Amino acid sequence: MSTYTPMIQQYLKIKAEYKDCFLFFRLGDFYEMFFDDALAASRELEITLTSRDGGSADRIPMCGVPYHSAENYIKNLVEKGFKVAICEQVEDPKTAKGVVKRDVVQLITPGTVMEGAMLDEKENNYLAGISEFSAETFIITYNDLSTGETSVARISTGWEAVLGELFNRPVKEVVIAPDLPDSFQDDLKEKLLVTVSYQQETGITEEFQYLAEKLNKDQQLVEGFGRMLNYIQNTQKRSLDHLKPAHIIELNQFMALDMFSKRNLELTQTILRKGKQGSLLWVLDQTVTAMGARMLKKWLERPLLNKQSIVQRQEIVAAFLEHFFERESIREALKSVYDLERLAGRVSFGNVNARDLIQVKQSINKIPEIKLILSQFDSKSVQKLGDEIDDLQSLSQLLEESISEDAPLTIKEGGIIKDGYNDRLDDYRDASKNGKKWISELEKKEKQATNIKSLKIGFNRVFGYYIEVTRANLHLLPEGKYERKQTLTNAERFITPELKEKESLILEAEEKSVELEYELFIELRERVKQFIPALQALAEQISNIDVLQSFATVSESNDYTRPTFNEERKVNIKQGRHPVIEKVMKEESFVPNDVTMDEEAEMLLITGPNMSGKSTYMRQLALTAIMAQIGCFVPCSSAEMPVFDQIFTRIGAADDLVSGQSTFMVEMLEAKHAITQATENSLILLDEIGRGTSTYDGMALAQAIIEYLHEHVQAKTLFSTHYHELTGLEDSLGKLRNIHVRAEEYQGNVIFLHQIQPGAADESYGIHVAKLAELPPDLITRASEILQQFENNDKSMVKKSEKDPGLPPQTEEEQQQMSFFVSEGAANQPKQTNPKQAHSLIKEIEQLNIMEMTPMEAMNALYQLQKKAKQ
């Protein structure tokens, strides 16, 4: 350390406290970085790497960015998951003895961004916290520093549920205790791709106790919230007055959507492109304000379970639908409402400017108009929305009187405060504009008072303004008023209290005016702070109105229908459509389908060829349920359904290569999650379970899962499969019904009709699909020949082919193995070559308690049976 210059020593000392951050070290007009920070920053930001003498033998790597354009560089680093510590000069260089004192004034991390340019206006920017209390119990906290929103939730079902909950929200950074297990930390970094930060302290100071009042003195909740609060205090080092008291998220009040379901259903982003377009959010978002867009996303992530709350939303949507012109007037008014949530946050945080306050005023000025429009509706629910809004006219009046309409972006250059707001400021401005006129009038006044015609007022840089009187006229000056300042050969120079006052005003007017305006703006900001809770409440009310009108707008343009709910767990959807696909399809029209499920049909087993629409049919039921439970109308001619408590999906291949899990393992994990967590009030969608392993293993697992769900879980289940053998289960499982997607063959080509009909599909049309994919003609011809051989030979026995001498015929033993899996009557099949071994195998099968086996146990048992069969 001693080998470096004092300034580099200062840098290293501060850097030691912020090892995991890029330290932006202020030197004049630049933020400089040194050593490893410089090497990394030059690479990440693509800026020039230089070096400087730091007192040691070797030159020190260095790079820097101009402080006035640093925001874009900081944004770049934060978006990549890095943290940036802003180190400023904290004393006046003119008065500094030695190296100017510097300190970190703010830590900018992915979860604590406040600057508007770094934020997506339509999405929250969450910092999350995790506190572990047992193997099953965790406390999760959320905070959006830009809006002040803070919430706490308890997870009592283990770590996987924690990952699923965090996946539901746009979390950019997670705060944890340093001793959280490494495997959990790896999951956060690899599965959720978030920045991980550490905070040990969980105590809450007296100053912030009010933020924990709603946590009911629950020690676990308070400790979990305290961990996050301490991290925010340590990183931000400024006012946090806009933080709202933490509220408890009662997870049992919302439909549970795990990580798999949210991803598979593409609620807020698509699987492939990771973008909004093509998601359900994309379809439903007709919001006008940024606040409304964020609120819509929250509602979509947490559909309601309370039927009364859902119906309340529906009634308002229905009223907006019926009053087209009033709804359009509201949409027009909302276009002038800015992001009050984040503006309130900027006020508290101290980075608000005059133009931000003008936006607050303009937004508030639209509220009376919105209230008036809402009062014109027939619906009492809509009228109540307007009645509950505080229009904050006192704040509007304060801002109207104080802030100039053409105020600049900066708050230290003047031109912010209106004339008439402050007398002293008005005097400064008047002095600055009318200084010479004042002096001229004062000179005239003094001549008249003294009767000295030659009296004049002059100015020099040493003495400032003065009154000059010739020696011959000195006897005319009244005693006591004039103070001698300078003696000349033929004259004396004086000052008077009035002249001194004018001089002070004139000379200091410009400088003092700017300083006073800054002081007045800071005072004004503190006065506006008192309105933060009211602004936040107003923002929430406007957001709700915006989302509900968005539902009405979408429902009208897409011909959606108001759904109803029943307690009998019946699903009866007529002419149902997939909301996203029908919007994407332009020339073709979407083929609607009915969904009917009741106590006699708890499960639908769906067969049909690939590309026929099985997955679409399954997804559209789930999306319809979600839309209904957030209060939106749904894509169909009529809909009656239960309130689902959870939705589980296993749709599409989803290899988890990062954690080394194959498609089949992911398939089994998702199936296990549904089987173990679902209730009879849940909806389960399973698409082609078992396809990731061998035919026999897959078929056995699929049947075991169907039987287990049918007998034990009894949730509403849609199960699609290519195993046509499973359609026979309709005869033995009373609440299972076969349905299929209709397809027709015409002149050697298959035509997908996308129509759901009762019964099982008679063909899979796999070769036709391969033909549509334009596989080589020779390959298609050969596949058709092999298929013909399977169909012509009883029990799928294939003989050697002249074209393919390498294809062996199936043995009788292999035939018997195939017949064993075709139906449950395997024990009644003709005797095998070795009846004693066959009888032993059948006996062992009969002793298996399939209904009590997990899918993995069933797979292991099946494997052992197969080994014995081959012997």
Name the range with the highest mean pLDDT among 112-126, 209-223, 509-523: 209-223
pTM summary value: 0.80
pLDDT at 725: 85
φ/ψ of residue 369, rounded to 5: -65, -40
Residues 391, 371 contacting (CB under 8 angstroms): yes
Q: What letters, b where the CB count within 10 A reaches 16 and e where it falls short, cover 218-257? A: eebbbbbbbbbbbbbbebbeeebbbbbebeebebeebbbb
| Residue entry with tokens 């909740």 | 221
Q: Can you give the pLDDT at residue 840?
A: 78
User: How many structural domains does the chain have?
Assistant: 6
Question: Do 741 and 596 lie in a common domain?
Answer: yes
Q: Are 713 and 594 contained in the same domain? A: yes
Token pair of 787 as six digits: 């298929």
Q: Is the domain of 188 the same as that of 232?
A: yes
- Provide the token pair at 698: 């897959």
Region 432-446: mean pLDDT is: 84
**Beta strands in 611-681, from DSSP E residues, in sequence order:** 638-641, 646-650
CB-count exposure of residue 561 (10 Å: 0-12, 13-18, 19+): middle
Domain boundary among 513, 539, 558: 558
Q: Cα-atom radius of gyration of the chain, to the nearest Å?
A: 38
Domain that holds residue 123: 119-253
Domain membership of residue 814 (yes or no) is no
**Cα–Cα nearest to 716, from 572, 613, 563:** 572
On whether both 613 and 654 belong to a single domain, the answer is: yes
The predicted pLDDT at position 376 comes to: 94
Average pLDDT over residues 381-392: 93
Longest CA–CA separation in the chain, Å:
148
Residue 114 labeled ligand binder? no
Give the up-direction half-sphere exposure of residue 469: CA atoms within 13 A in the CB hemisphere.
Answer: 22
Neighbours of 753 (CB within 10 A): 15
Rounded to whole angstroms, the Cα distance separating 864 from 152 reads 48
568 plus 654 within the same structural domain: yes
Q: At what angle do helices 532-558 and 380-387 cross, to 10 degrees?
A: 150
* pLDDT(813) > 50: no
pLDDT tens-digit readout, 502-529: 787 777 777 788 889 999 999 999 999 9
Residue 816 has pLDDT above 50, yes or no: no
Euclidean distance between CA atoms 437 and 469, whole angstroms = 21
Residues whose CB falls within 8 Å of the CB of residue 63, separated by 6 or more in sequence, listed in order: 32, 33, 38, 41, 42, 45, 47, 48, 49, 50
Q: Are 603 and 543 in a shared domain? A: no
Tokens coding 24 = 């932006």
Could you tell me what percent of the chain has a pLDDT over 70?
91
Q: What is the pLDDT of residues 284-300, one digit of tens each?
A: 999 999 999 999 999 99
- Per DSSP, the chain holds a count of helices (H) and strands (E) of 27, 27
661 band by pLDDT with thresholds 50, 70 and 90: low
**pLDDT score for 588:** 67
Tell me if 268 is assigned to some domain. no
Find out whether 784 is annotated in a ligand binding site. Answer: no
Query: In terms of domains, do 385 and 509 share one?
Result: no
Q: Tell me, yes or no, whether 445 and 588 share the same domain.
A: no
**Cβ proximity of 14 and 87 under 8 Å:** yes
608 and 754 in a single domain? The answer is: yes
Write out pLDDT tens, residues 600-627. 999 999 998 877 788 999 999 999 999 9
201 and 350 within one domain: no
Per the annotation, does 576 bind a ligand?
no
Q: Where are the beta strands (DSSP E) in 461-581?
A: 464-470, 483-487, 491-495, 564-565, 571-576
According to the model, what pLDDT value does residue 870 have? Answer: 75
Q: Is 158 annotated as a binding residue?
A: no
**Position 787 in a domain:** no
CATH number, position 710: 3.40.50.300
Determine the 3-state secondary structure of 104 from DSSP. strand
615 marked as binding residue: yes
Does one domain contain both 332 and 380?
Answer: yes
Q: Is 415 flagged in the annotation as binding?
A: no
